[in-house]
Structures are given as C-alpha cells and as structure tokens.
Amino acid sequence: MLVEGKLEAIVSFLCSSAMGSVCNGFLLAVAVVWVAVCRGGAQAQLSPAFYATTCPNLQDPIRSVMTQAVGRDPRMGASILRLFFHDCFVNGCDASVLLDDTPTMIGEKNAMGNANSLRGYEVIDAIKSRVEAACRSTVSCADILALAARDAVTLLGGPSWTVSLGRRDARTASMAAANANLPPASDSIGNLVARFAAKGLSLRDLTALSGAHTVGAARCSSFRPHVYRDANVDPGFAMFRRRICPASGGDTNLAPLDPTSPNRFDVSYYRDLMARRGLLHSDQELFNGGPADNLVRLYSSNGGVFNRDFAAAMVKMGNIGPLTGSAGEIRLNCRRAN
C-alpha cells in the first residue's frame, strides 16, 4: 500500500540519518503497528452487513438459484465450492477465475488444474443476472461466489457460516498464476502444507478444507497415477477404480471422491482415508504417517468438530487477498471486465 511504503521509507531515513536518536523502541513499535494496520485494512473492510442498505435481500436470489442448481445436479454444489477455492488460491478472492480469455489476456479457466474440469460458471451467471435485476452495479461477482459456495455446502447437508462481504472484482486474470498456485493431485503432504501456509492457512485448515472432497468427483487423469502406482492404497479399491479408469484412455471418466456418500457433506471422506481409499494421491497424503493423521482420525469420529473447523477455515480462505475500497471494480458480467 502507498501509505505503508511511505511510512517504511520515513522510518528508514530516521534510523540511518543524523536523526538516529529518534529511532527508538517507541518509534519502531508505532511503525510496526501502523504497517500491520495497513496490511490488514482490506480484511477489516469486509463485513456481513456490507450490502445491508444497498442490496438488503441479496442472499435470497443466490439461495434460490443454488437450490435449483443443486436440486437438478447435486454434484454442482461441489463444483461451486471448488470454483471458490480455485478463485481464492490465485491472487485472492477476486472472481478472476470467472473471467473469459481475451485477445490480450490468457486467464485462469484454461490453467492446468482448471481446463475441462472447473464447472458451474453458468450458475454464477444466473445468480448475477438475478442480482443485477434487483441491485444494479452493486454486488461483486467475488461476493456472489463466496455466498454461493456457502449455500452449496449447506444444501448438501454441511455447516453454515457468516460470510463477510465487500470484495471487489479483478479486471484481469493470469494462467501463469493459476498454474503456480493451485495444488495438483500429485502433491505431497509437505507441498500441501507449504502451499496452504503461503496463503495464511494452517495444517488444521488444510485438513478441514480437504474435507470438501466428501462431495464431487474427479477425472480419471487425476487419480490414475494413484490407483496404478501408489503403494498406500487398498488393493480392492484400486482394482475397482481401474475399471472406471483404464491405464490409457478414458481421461475424462469420473469417479466420486467419496464413494460412500458422494452427494452428502459428511465425514465419510476421512473414514475412506483411514481405510486407504482416498481417490487422489494428495487425498491419501493426509493419512500416510504424516502430520495430518491425528486430525483425520479426529474428524472421522467427530462430525461436529469437522463442521466447526471447516466453517472457520472457509472464513479464513475467504479473507485471502480481497480487493476492497476503490480497487478493482463491480463487474456487470462476471465473465468479462467492464
């Protein structure tokens, strides 16, 4: 931030010049506190009541469209949740993942972890149309996606949480940033921990957020290496999944991430991990003699703790790098900048 940069420059000058005598513990303490306030300013501007006067009934059309979409296709709930995750992990929760490519911009939709995989864009379009009809040029696509992800979870039987609002939309997107930031299915537990830590998320957040894989499906190309090559997989489960996913071909064939209850947001995912029936390599890494083992055991036997931790982690993830104030814009169409 500009103010932050100016303050740091002033402190540096005072501490290195003839005025060094004023560079004491008090001055440094004030500087540190002010810089922290500047850096935390974006998060502080988010509020559950952000649209209380400008769009007071905002959540009604979002809930309505999401109820219809998940009712038609329960997997869509998982898809919207995944959209939100993939948005927040690339330059913050700014709806950049929704932008179509242009002649001058290659965006995130065709990045390695997104191409022919992310879905639900039309659901967000439908919500945006309803919201624009009620509150013109007021509600960001970033906030719509955050609320839709929360509703997706609750409609599938999962927990609810209060969504802070006030995010604004990015004007651009980056395939390179998506390729660099999104965790691939091949990630080790060490890589996962490092990627999440870089976003301010703990091991507990990582393990709880991974529980989103209690719903949804994955493509054969994502789980083939695990069921054909890894040793930490139940042989019967691997054989069953190979029927869906041949050694070559069939890359787009789908299998549920949680075969026990693929359309129910519960703790079956963690029980599957303990039985070595995680579909993805990165899933099974959470229960493979590593630092997340005890959390997997805890969540597998205590749905209340999982629900609480998942909701808390979703709030933290929703606070990653939002654009606020005059930054960004309020898109009229979520697929393109104004």
Task: Yes or no: say if 133 and 192 are a contact pair by the CB < 8 Å rule.
Answer: no
Measure the CA–CA gap between 269 and 158, rounded to whole angstroms: 13
Residue 330, Cβ density class (10 Å: 0-12 exposed, 13-18 middle, ≥19 buried): middle
Tokens at residue 16, please?
């290195």
Task: Yes or no: say if 137 and 128 are a contact pair by the CB < 8 Å rule.
Answer: no
168 three-state secondary structure: strand
Measure the CA–CA gap between 317 and 326, rounded to whole angstroms: 22
Closest CA to 185 of 149, 216, 220: 220
Side chain identity, residue 264: R
80 to each of 50, 75, 85, how far by Cα in Å?
A: 22, 9, 9
Q: Which of 86, 213, 226, 281 is catalytic?
A: 86
Tokens at residue 336, please?
């393109």
Task: Yes or no: say if 58 and 128 are a contact pair by the CB < 8 Å rule.
Answer: no
Report DSSP letters for 57-82, one per residue: TTHHHHHHHHHHHHHH-THHHHHHHH
Residue 5, Cβ density class (10 Å: 0-12 exposed, 13-18 middle, ≥19 buried): exposed
DSSP H helical segments within 40-174, as ranges? 41-44, 59-72, 75-88, 121-134, 141-155
Task: Yes or no: say if 255 and 199 are a contact pair by the CB < 8 Å rule.
Answer: no
Measure the CA–CA gap between 168 and 279, rounded to whole angstroms: 35
Q: Please say if 213 is a catalytic residue.
A: no
Active site residues: 86
